[in-house]
A = this chain, B = another copy of it.
């Protein structure tokens, strides 16, 4: 299960994607719109910024904005920043490979083979789905005249 932090991160990034191009957005605004604790959101946004997904400006008129176009930022990138590797085992991670502690022979580890398939499948989805894709998908399923919210 995704952590609360991950959910907040995804929601916040979607807000910033929707407002993309319209200048910096305040932490406080995002927090209020998506009903997240402001202080916690600060921590998350800072992390996303330090990993190069966001940019920020301090002082009056400041705030946060995407470091790239919504079509150039993927779900996979975001989740890796806040949740670590997508892989279910370190030994099948491409980005953060690490040998499993007491693995005798990686080539014949049966569990590894299954988990490699799992990693491949999820990474394929998450790394090929951009913020822009998600926005489009959300908009195209609007029904009735309700407000537009990226609710989890």
Which residues of chain A have a CB within 8 Å of any CB of chain B? Answer: 1-2, 7, 10-11, 14, 35, 75, 84-85, 87-91, 100-115, 117-118, 121-122, 124-126, 129, 134-135, 137-138, 141-143, 146-152
Contact = CB atoms under 8 A, between A and B. Distances in A.
A89 B137 contact: no
A111 B1 contact: no
Contacts of A141: 107-108, 113
> Which 7 residue pairs across A and B have the least CB separation, nearest first?
A110-B138, A121-B121, A104-B151, A103-B151, A110-B134, A104-B149, A100-B152
Nearest to A117: B125
Given A1-B89, A7-B111, A108-B151, 16 more contacts: A1-B85, A1-B90, A14-B110, A14-B111, A104-B149, A104-B151, A105-B149, A107-B141, A109-B150, A109-B152, A110-B134, A110-B138, A111-B134, A113-B134, A118-B126, A121-B124
Contacts of A14: 110-111
Contacts of A112: 152
Central interface residue in A85, A124, A150, by most chain B CB within 10 Å? A150
